[in-house]
Structure 1
Amino acid sequence: MPSHTITLTNRPPTPALVIVGAGPRGTGLIERIAANAPELYAGSGLDIHLVDPHPPGAGRIWRATQSPLLWMNSHAEDVTMFTDETVHMAGPVRPGPTLHEWAGIDGRTFADRRLQGAYLRWVHEQAVAALPEGVRVHHHPRRALRVGGPRDGRRQVWLEGRPRPLLADLVVLALGHLDAELDDEQRELAAYARAHDLVHLAPDFTADSDLSPLAPGEPVLVRGFGLAFVDLMVLLTEGRGGRYEGDTYVPSGREPVLYVGSRRGVPYHSKIGYDWTGERPPLPRFLGPAEIDGLLAGAQGFNFRRDVWPLVEKELGFAHYHRLFTVHPERTDMAWADFEEKYAVASGQDIQALVASAVPDPADRLDLAALDRPLDGVRYGSYEEFQEGLRGYVERDLVRRHDPEHSPDLAVFLGLLSVYGQLIRLGDIGPWWHGFFSYLASGPPGPRLRQLLALSRAGVVKFVGADMSVAAEDGVFRALSATVPGASVEARALVEARLPEPTVGRARDPLLRELHAAETPAGLLRVDPGDGRVLDRAGRPHPRLFALGPFTDARTPGAFTRPRTGGPAFRQNDATARAVLDFLRSLRSRAAA
C-alpha cells in the first residue's frame, strides 16, 4: 500500500482586533487603519471584529430609524469624515467628500440626521473596501459586556447572548455617548415623581426618550437650553402636527407648554450664517504646543482658572482683534502692527486698558465673561416682561450671527477650535470648558432659533430664567429663577434636557464599569494622550486596550470635523491606528520567528 506522509503545521492564529462601537469613531478608526496598513501591515492577515447592536457607520445616534424632523447641527459643508493636509498626523492624507458634496445638496443646508447616517454608512463601506487583501471585517450586532484575559495575553470580549467570548489581540473602545445611572439628585426626583404620580424624564438622548407622558396643554418644566432642548422642542411641536406659516406657529392642540430655563437662562448662540473671507488669524499664537508643554512640565501641576484660562482668553482675543483690525480698521484707533506688539506683552488689566484705548465701541470688544453669563445681574418684574426681553436677546443674536460686519465672531469660533485642539493634551480640565465651547461654538441652526421665537409668541414655549432651580414639594415640581424674583412655575412634569454626563463610574455599560482603569476626578477614563491606550490605576498604559471618545479625558470638540481645521479626532484616530498596526505587526513577526 502506498504510504502517505501527513505534515502538521502549528500556524499561529490570525491576529484579531475588536472595536467596540461601530459609529463614526469606529468608522474613522477603520479608515485610518486602511490608510496606514500599506506602510505598516501590508501582506498580513487580520480579523477586525466590530461590536455594536446598531448598524455600522451610523451607529445609534445617526441611525435611520429616527424622526426626519431632527437635523444635523452643522452646515452640510462643515461635516467631513476625511482628512486633509491641515491634520498633523504621521499617516497619509486620504481625501474624500464632505456631506454636502456626497449628497449633492447646498453646502449651507442643515441636513437631517438620517441623511447623515446614510453618509456615514457609505464612509464605512468605503473604508472597509480600502482595507488590504487579507484584512476582514466582521460585524457582531450585540452589546459587549466585559473584557477579560491576562494583561499581556489575548483579550476575551464577552458579548450579550453569545456563550463564548471573542478572542482579540487588541481591543479599542469607541463607544460614543453613554447611558448613565442617575446621580443622587436625579434619583431623588425620580422617586418623588413615582410617589406623587408625576412625570420625570432624566438626562437622555432626546430621540430615545418616551415623550408620550407629556400631555397636551399641560405645563412641563424643562431644565437645559442646549441642543437636547432643541430636539425636544421639535418633537413636541412639529412632531405632534404643528406647523409654521412664515414666522407664525400654528399649533395642533397636542403640544404641552414648555417652561425652559438653565444655568445661563438663554439658548446656545446661533450657528454663524456667513462664510469666511480673507486672511485667517495665524493660530495658535498664545496657546500652542510650547505653552501646553510648559503646563504639563510644571512640578506642581496646573490650575485651569489660574494657569490655563488666561492663555485661552488671550488666544481668543487675538483671533477677535486680528479680524477687527485687519478687516474693519475704521472701527479702531490704532494700527494693527502697534496693537499686536503691545498685546503680545500685555496681560490682565493691561490688555483691557489697551483694548479700551484702541477700540472705541464697547460692542466691538471681546467680553467672554458677559458672553458666558448674559443674564448676570439682570432682573425683570414679571414673567411677561422677561418673555419680551429674552425674545429681544435671541433676535439680536440672530442678526449678529448672520451679519459679516461682525465677522470677528467667526474668528473667535476658529480660535475656539484651535484652543480645543491644544487643550486635549491636558486631559480632564473639568466640565466648564466643554460647556462654554458648546454654548459659543456648537449652538443650533439659525432657523431653529427663529422657530423658538415663533413658539414663544404662540405661548407654547415660555422662558424661566438663569440659574433655574427645581424643587420637589407640595406634590409638584416647582421652578425658580433669580431673573424674575419671587416668581415660580409649578408643573407635574420635569424634563432634564441634556445628555448624561460621560462618567465611567455611573455608566450603564457594564464593560466600562468593570475595566478597573484610572478615572479622572470628573469620572472620565484616563488614556495616554499619545495613542489612546487606557491607563490603569497605577498610571501604566495597557498594552492591549485603547479607548477613543467623549468618555475619555482626551475627548474632542463636537461630533464631526469641520474641513481644514486640523481635526483633533483625525489625529487621534491616526495615532491609535498606527499603534494598533505596529503592535499587530510585531506580534505577527514574533509568532513567525
Structure 2
Amino acid sequence: MSVKKLAIIGFGPRGLAAAEAALAVVPDLRICIFEPGPYPGVGPNFRPDEAPECLLNLPVRELDLGTPRFADCLGGAPEAYPPRAEVGRYLTERWQRLRPNVEHVPATAVSAHYDCGWIVDGRGPFDNLLLTQGQPPVTQDAQVARWSAHAAAQRLTFLDAYPTTAIRSTDWRGRVAALRGLALSALDVIALLTLGQGGRMDGDSYRASGREPKLIVPFSLDGMPPVPKPATADIDALFDPLPTERRAVISAVTRALTLSPEAAVQCLTDALAPIVARITSTDPQPWLATERDAPGAQEGADPVSALEIGLSMAEGQRAPSVGYAVGQIWRKLQQDVRGPFAACDGSCETRSALVAFENGLKRYSYGPPVRSARLLRALINKGLIRLTVAEDPSILLERGGWRLDDKILADAMIDCVLPGPSPDDITDPLVRGLIHAGHLKVDCGLKPVTAGLSVLGRTTEGQRWATDSLIDCFGDVTVEWARKSLGNSKEV
C-alpha cells in the first residue's frame, strides 16, 4: 500500500492544527506545505516579533489549543491575556516539533489541478489537498481603494493594522490618526499608539510620554466600542450554561437548519432565552426580538457611557444586561454548536441568517480584555481619543487628509477592518482556478466538489460557524476533517 500524500495551502495556526491532526490519523503521512511567510504555523497576527502591546482576546485559562498546553509551555497567570507574540512563540515551538515530518515550500501556491491526484504548481500528485489560507487576497474595498489612492497622491500616511511594523516605525508626535473600525484590531492599534510610544497606565489614569499622536479618532458606523469580557473566572462562571441548557441549544441548532431563515433565528433565540432569564432574572425576549431584526438597535447609551457600563458589568460591579449575558453565553456555546452546524444540511439562506445573527453578537462574545477597555477609557478621559460615528461619503478627502467632521482633519489613516470572507470577492488565482474547473463551488462559503479536496477556515463561513477563533483552529472541526478525509471514511 502506497504512502498517502497531503498538500496544505497556507500554513498558519489552522494549517498547523490540520497537519498535527492528519499525522495523528495517518502517522506515516507525507505532508507538503505551501507557505511563503517567515513564520510557518503562526500566520500574520501571531508573529513572535509582534509588539507586546498586542493582546489575545482570550485569557490563559480559556486557551485550549490541545497538547502541549499553552500554560505548560509559556506559563502565565490564568487570568492574564497573553501577548500575541507569546502565542506565536508557542505555535513556533509546535511547528519545530512537526518540521521533520513536513516538506516546506516557501512560496505562494498559484495553481492546482487534478490529474490522477492533485498537482500543485507542478508538485505532486497528492492524494489530498487542503486549503487553509486564512484570509486570501480579495478585491479591494471601494472605500479603501479610494482612500489609498488619495493617500498616495497627497503623500499621506495610510496603513493596515497588521503587520504592525509600519505603525511601530512611524513618528506619531503631533499627528491626528484616524482608525477605520472599532473592534479588536483597533484596540491593538490604540495600544501601539500609546503604550507602545512609552506611555503608561497609573491606576485608572494614563501618563503620556509625549510621543503619542495629538489625537486618535477611531470611527465606525455606530461609534460603539466592543464590550469587555468578564474580568475574572468567578465572574465568567456566572454565565456557564447548564448541561441541559447546552443540549437544548444543540438541538435547536439542528432543528433551525431545517427551517426558513426567520424561523431558524427564532428557534435559536427561543433556546437561548431560558438561559438568559435564569442568569439575569429578566425577560430577554424583547431584546432578542430586536436583535433578530436590527442588531445593536437596543443600545441606547452614547459610546462613552456604553464603555463605562460594559466595564462595570465585566468587573462585576453592575448586574449584566440581557445583551451582555447573551454574548457571554453564546461564547461558551460556540464549541458545542460548531459540529452540529457543520454536519447538518440547510439552505444557504438559513445558514446565512444564523451566521448573521452570530456576527451581530460579536460585539459582546468577541470582546477585549478589561485591560484594553480601561486603557480606552483613560485615553478618552485624557482627551487623546475621540470616538466618532462616521461613514462614507460623509468623510471628505482634502489636501491635508481625511475630514471626519468640521473639527477633525486626520493626516493619517489606519485600516483596522479585516476584509469579509465572501468567496465571491476572492482574487487568489489558485482558488479562482479550482472554482472555474468545478472542483470548488460557492455555496454559503467555499464548498469542495471533488473528492480529496477540503477547505477549512474563514472562507467556509456559512458551511461552518464561528470560524475566526484561534481555538476553532485546534478544535473538533479540524480533528473531524482529518478523520473523514484521511481515515477510512470516504467523506470529504
Is the 1:221–1:259 contact (alpha carbons within 8 Å) kept by the matching residues of 2? Answer: yes
When residues 205 and 317 of structure 1 are mapped into structure 2, their CA distance, relative to the original with a 3 A threshold, is farther
The structure that is helix-richer by fraction is 2
Residue type of the partner of 1:143?
A: T
State the partner residue of 1:395.
Answer: 308
Shift of 1:126: 5.6
The number of residues matched between the two structures is: 466
When residues 57 and 184 of structure 1 are mapped into structure 2, their CA distance, relative to the original with a 3 A threshold, is closer
Gaps of 5+ in 2: none
Q: Secondary structure at the match of 2:210?
A: coil
State the partner residue of 1:322.
Answer: 278
Over residues 340-384 of structure 1, what are the superposed CA-to-partner deviations in whole Å (9 max), with x where a residue is unaligned? xxx9xxxx9xx55xxxxxxxxxxxx87864995368676xxxxxx
Q: Secondary structure at the match of 1:261?
A: strand
In the alignment, the residues of structure 1 paired with residue 54 and residue 240 of structure 2 have an alpha-carbon distance, to the nearest angstrom, of 35
Give yes or no for the alignment of 1:26 onto 2:10. no
When residues 569 and 116 of structure 1 are mapped into structure 2, their CA distance, relative to the original with a 3 A threshold, is closer
Is the 2:59–2:80 contact (alpha carbons within 8 Å) kept by the matching residues of 1? Answer: yes
When residues 297 and 569 of structure 1 are mapped into structure 2, their CA distance, relative to the original with a 3 A threshold, is farther
Shift of 1:398: 0.8
Shift of 1:461: 1.1
State the partner residue of 1:72.
Answer: 56
TM-score under structure 1 length normalisation: 0.69
Shift of 1:451: 0.9
Over residues 193-231 of structure 1, what are the superposed CA-to-partner deviations in whole Å (9 max), with x where a residue is unaligned? 3334433336x5353655656742222222211011011
Give yes or no for the alignment of 1:447 onto 2:352. no
TM-score under structure 2 length normalisation: 0.82
Q: Secondary structure at the match of 2:77?
A: coil
Over residues 279-333 of structure 1, what are the superposed CA-to-partner deviations in whole Å (9 max), with x where a residue is unaligned? 73333465434x44544445xxx32xx22322232233222112345xxxxxx7x
Question: Counterparts in 2 of 1:271-310, with a 5 A limit?
Answer: 271-275=229-233, 276=237, 280-281=241-242, 282-284=244-246, 287-289=249-251, 291-297=252-258, 302-303=260-261, 306-310=262-266
State the partner residue of 1:542.
Answer: 450
State the partner residue of 2:114.
Answer: 149
Give yes or no for the alignment of 1:117 onto 2:85. no
State the partner residue of 2:418.
Answer: 499
When residues 418 and 70 of structure 1 are mapped into structure 2, their CA distance, relative to the original with a 3 A threshold, is same
Corresponding residue to 1:519 among 420, 439, 442: 442
Corresponding residue to 1:36 among 13, 25, 28: 25
Residue type of the partner of 2:375?
A: Q
Shift of 1:470: 4.4
Corresponding residue to 2:470 among 534, 557, 560: 560
Shift of 1:236: 1.4
Over residues 96-146 of structure 1, what are the superposed CA-to-partner deviations in whole Å (9 max), with x where a residue is unaligned? 4542243232110111112112222334456679xxxxxx42222222222
Larger C-alpha radius of gyration, 1 or 2? 1
RMSD after superposition:
3.5
Shift of 1:450: 0.9
Shift of 1:585: 10
In the alignment, the residues of structure 1 paired with residue 478 and residue 35 of structure 2 have an alpha-carbon distance, to the nearest angstrom, of 19
In the alignment, the residues of structure 1 paired with residue 141 and residue 74 of structure 2 have an alpha-carbon distance, to the nearest angstrom, of 41
Question: Counterparts in 2 of 1:46-445, with a 5 A limit?
Answer: 46-54=29-37, 55-82=39-66, 96=67, 98-124=69-95, 136-150=101-115, 153-158=116-121, 164-201=122-159, 205-207=162-164, 210=167, 215-256=172-213, 257-275=215-233, 276=237, 280-281=241-242, 282-284=244-246, 287-289=249-251, 291-297=252-258, 302-303=260-261, 306-324=262-280, 351-352=285-286, 369=291, 372-373=295-296, 390-403=303-316, 406=319, 409=324, 412-418=327-333, 421=338, 423-424=341-342, 429=352, 432-445=356-369
In the alignment, the residues of structure 2 paired with residue 556 and residue 279 of structure 1 have an alpha-carbon distance, to the nearest angstrom, of 19
Q: Secondary structure at the match of 1:230?
A: helix
Is the 1:19–1:172 contact (alpha carbons within 8 Å) kept by the matching residues of 2? Answer: yes
Is the 1:556–1:568 contact (alpha carbons within 8 Å) kept by the matching residues of 2? Answer: no
Is the 1:262–1:468 contact (alpha carbons within 8 Å) kept by the matching residues of 2? Answer: no
Over residues 490-530 of structure 1, what are the superposed CA-to-partner deviations in whole Å (9 max), with x where a residue is unaligned? 22333221112223344453322322132247xx42x2xxx
In the alignment, the residues of structure 1 paired with residue 188 and residue 18 of structure 2 have an alpha-carbon distance, to the nearest angstrom, of 29
State the partner residue of 1:531.
Answer: none
Over residues 24-52 of structure 1, what are the superposed CA-to-partner deviations in whole Å (9 max), with x where a residue is unaligned? 21222233224334xxxx7xx43111222
Shift of 1:18: 0.8
Is the 1:285–1:315 contact (alpha carbons within 8 Å) kept by the matching residues of 2? Answer: no
Q: Secondary structure at the match of 2:49?
A: coil
In the alignment, the residues of structure 2 paired with residue 501 and residue 184 of structure 1 have an alpha-carbon distance, to the nearest angstrom, of 13
When residues 271 and 585 of structure 1 are mapped into structure 2, their CA distance, relative to the original with a 3 A threshold, is closer
Corresponding residue to 2:404 among 474, 479, 493: 479
Q: Secondary structure at the match of 1:19?
A: strand
In the alignment, the residues of structure 1 paired with residue 422 and residue 166 of structure 2 have an alpha-carbon distance, to the nearest angstrom, of 20
